[in-house]
């Protein structure tokens, strides 16, 4: 953790020191030092608070997950998860110091005096090994990438801090009260963001996204993005929150609680519809289907899914113009079909090791120099990985997704919290095949960290129950 905290910013600064992005630092070095010291003091102060109450990492991380701060420098604007970085840095410091002193931060009292969850299993799981392998491969394959700086920024801004976040959440004792607190916080944020979206729709004004503003000015429809920089990312967030709230609805027994959840779901559904994010609507259906299959039986869910697919196919056949198919597949998908075909072509040209991490945009523009649209990936994460990292990265990705899915789903049927996490993660994986951003999204790491902790606690609790039963049998004999 200490190595990641120190090396990540040092490597980034070394790479961009002479770039226009740091021109303001060169012009005002004293002010830059003061800002850096103030930020460091904030991280240290928060670390002191977390060291006394380790469970605070969870609600703080959940609250800061969606917030990206636009930072302009050198004529470019970067949307960075600054609040989340502060929480991750503070949490990592709070974990490092007790370790040096010979203690274990995970043994601190759980939240609000609630009873701790069952103890964790010793050692590391295959999921953690595959996560480490995936990140290491991405770093190694950046060496020969024509877009090394892009890959470096991916590592520093996404993979490294989110891996630290995963470790922090993985080591927490997730009590029912802590899980409930985090769900209430994220549901409250979703309602707040949906309300901002309603204001956008009513006033026909948008925040933060010039590209979407331009699209709304051209088309007859109006899509909202709330405080997010992308309507599809906003839609993904709403869909995942709705899936987790649906778990409360179908597993819950308290009528008052279910009424509240239904009202919240109605508000979030309205917000999701106004995003016009087809990928998010599809991800919601997938997540709800998985959740229903775990709560009841899979066969009826599969029958309904097949019926929906059949009706959708019939609608496309009867009225292709309604869905934009008269423009061709590329036009109906807003250019994504062309990106996918380009990614497949790149994979075919260099199938084993790819063109290097972060290289998709550079290599795609080399093949299609007339492309004027802004792009960074094929919008299908599996295609992006195949083009950038070849079979080496693709196999690591597939192993990671399959292992994570099995780990989260196994034994989750009897646990509302585990079922919600599993359904949300698999819905997110589905969404990444339509809109990219898998491990570049902190929500993926958050779901994996919480899911792994709950899975370990569940298995450990079952083992403890069996051991106690054996002991009682021996005493009785």
Along the 477 residues of the chain, how does pLDDT read in single tens digits?
A: 889 888 888 888 887 777 776 777 778 888 888 988 998 999 999 999 999 999 999 999 999 999 887 765 444 556 788 899 999 999 999 998 887 776 555 444 444 444 434 344 456 789 999 999 999 999 999 999 999 988 998 999 999 999 999 999 999 999 999 999 999 999 999 999 999 999 989 988 877 666 666 555 555 678 888 888 888 999 999 999 999 999 999 988 788 888 999 999 999 999 999 999 999 999 999 999 999 999 888 788 888 888 888 888 888 777 776 655 555 555 555 557 778 888 899 999 999 999 999 999 889 888 888 665 556 667 789 999 999 999 999 999 999 999 999 999 998 888 999 999 999 999 999 999 998 889 999 999 999 999 999 998 877 655 454 444 454 345 454
Structural domain includes residue 417: no
The count of domains in the chain is 1
The four Cα atoms 397, 305, 410, 462 give a dihedral, to 10 degrees, of 160
Residue 314, pLDDT score: 83
Residue 44 lies in a domain: no
Q: Distance (Å, rounded) from C-alpha 464 to C-alpha 458?
A: 10
Instruction: Report if residue 208 sits inside a domain.
Output: yes
Is 276 contained in some domain? yes
* 264 inside domain: yes
Under a CB-based contact definition with an 8 Å cutoff, are residues 240 and 424 in contact?
A: yes
Task: Please indicate, yes or no, if residue 292 is contained in any of the structural domains.
Answer: yes
End-to-end CA distance of the chain: 50
Domain that holds residue 312: 175-317
What contacts 115, CB < 8 A, 6 or more positions away?
175
Which residues are CB-neighbours of 421 under 8 A, at least 6 positions away? 244, 408, 412, 447, 450, 451, 454
> What per-residue confidence (pLDDT) applies to 98?
80
Q: In 3-state terms, what secondary structure has residue 417? A: helix
In a domain, 463, yes or no: no
**306 located within any domain:** yes
């Amino acid at each position: 953790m200490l190595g990641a905290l120190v090396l990540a910013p040092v490597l980034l600064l070394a790479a961009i020191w002479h770039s226009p992005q740091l021109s303001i630092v060169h012009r005002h070095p004293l002010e830059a030092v003061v800002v850096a010291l103030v930020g460091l003091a904030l991280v240290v102060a928060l670390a002191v608070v977390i060291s006394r109450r380790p469970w605070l990492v969870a609600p703080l991380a959940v609250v800061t997950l969606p917030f990206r701060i636009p930072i302009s420098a050198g004529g470019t604007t970067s949307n960075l998860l600054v609040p989340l970085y502060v929480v991750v840095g503070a949490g990592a410091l709070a974990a490092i110091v007790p370790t040096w002193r010979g203690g274990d931060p995970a043994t601190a009292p759980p939240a609000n005096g609630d009873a701790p969850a069952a103890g964790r299993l010793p050692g590391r799981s295959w999921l953690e090994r595959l996560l480490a392998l995936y990140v290491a491969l991405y770093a190694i394959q950046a060496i020969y990438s024509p877009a090394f700086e892009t890959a470096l920024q991916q590592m520093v801004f996404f993979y490294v801090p989110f891996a630290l976040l995963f470790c922090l959440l993985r080591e927490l004792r997730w009590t029912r009260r802590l899980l409930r607190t985090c769900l209430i916080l994220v549901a409250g944020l979703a309602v707040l963001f949906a309300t901002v979206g309603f204001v956008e729709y009513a006033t026909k004004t948008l925040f933060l996204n010039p590209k979407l503003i331009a699209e709304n000015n051209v088309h007859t429809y109006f899509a909202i993005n709330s405080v997010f920089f992308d309507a599809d990312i906003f839609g993904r967030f709403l869909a995942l929150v709705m899936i987790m709230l649906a778990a409360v609805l179908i597993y819950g027994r308290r009528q008052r609680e279910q009424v509240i959840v239904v009202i919240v779901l109605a508000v979030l559904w309205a917000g999701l519809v106004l995003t016009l994010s087809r990928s998010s609507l599809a991800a919601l259906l997938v997540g709800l289907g998985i959740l229903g299959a775990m709560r009841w039986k899979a066969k009826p869910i599969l029958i309904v899914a097949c019926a929906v697919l059949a009706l959708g196919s019939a609608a496309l056949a009867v009225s292709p113009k309604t869905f934009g198919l008269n423009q061709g597949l590329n036009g109906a998908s807003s250019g994504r079909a062309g990106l996918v075909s380009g990614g497949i072509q790149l994979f075919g040209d260099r199938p084993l090791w790819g063109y290097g991490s972060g290289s998709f945009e550079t290599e795609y523009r080399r093949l299609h120099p007339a492309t004027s649209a802004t792009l960074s990936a094929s919008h299908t994460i599996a295609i992006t990985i195949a083009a950038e990292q070849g079979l080496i990265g693709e196999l690591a990705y597939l192993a990671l997704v399959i292992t994570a899915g099995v780990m989260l789903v196994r034994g989750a049927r009897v646990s509302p919290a585990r079922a919600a996490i599993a359904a949300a993660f698999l819905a997110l994986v589905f969404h990444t095949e339509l809109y990219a951003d898998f491990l570049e999204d902190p929500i993926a790491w958050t779901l994996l960290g919480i899911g792994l902790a709950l899975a370990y606690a569940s298995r450990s609790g079952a083992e403890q129950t069996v051991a106690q039963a054996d002991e009682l049998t021996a005493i009785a004999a």
